[in-house]
Amino acid sequence: MLINTLLTLMLMVSFTFTTMMTPLSMIFILITQTFLISLISATLTSTFWYSYMLILIMISGLLVMFMYMASIASNEKFKISAKILPLILTSTMLLSIMNKSELFLVWKKNNMEKMNINQEIFFNKLFNTKFIIPSLTLIMLLFFMMIIISFLISTNEGPMRKSN
């Protein structure tokens, strides 16, 4: 049930992405999509490591892009088009109806059984002894980069863009 709710939220966020005009709102929608994807992958797998690595890598890149766009973009109001609202509501109702149908439940059960088998194979390959050194190196590199960047950023200098 949680996965269905997350998928419905993801679909609604995707529909609202098409109506956004400002770059800051688009980046905010991308950050929201990244959180939803990591939550879905966390609920589908037995461990949270994959979703944790995904969110660290994706959000760090998106936040750099968000900071750059916030420094150069003009301040505009967020506008959601009234035309897209019926489409979002219709798709939500269709997903909830499809979720209750018997055919969809049989398909979902078969896919979940296949996913459990594939999940064990995937994590055996990901955390194999051959790949532990590159994984630990990547984790330490990201950690040291975070520490170095936090020392380089000085909070007393203020924002990149001056406010009028």
Tell me the per-residue pLDDT of 119-137, one tens digit each, with 9 for 90 and over.
Answer: 556 556 656 677 778 778 8
Between CA 100 and CA 56, with CA 116 as vertex, the angle to 5 degrees is: 95
In sequence order, the 6+-apart residues with CB closer than 8 A to the CB of 52 are 38, 42
Query: Percentage of the chain surpassing pLDDT 90?
Result: 0
pLDDT value of position 106: 55
- Which of 64-68, 116-120, 139-143 shows the lowest mean pLDDT across its residues? 116-120
How many CA atoms lie within 13 Å of 140's alpha carbon, on the beta-carbon side? 6
pLDDT(113) > 80 = no
3-state secondary structure at position 22? coil
Average pLDDT over every residue of 32-45: 85
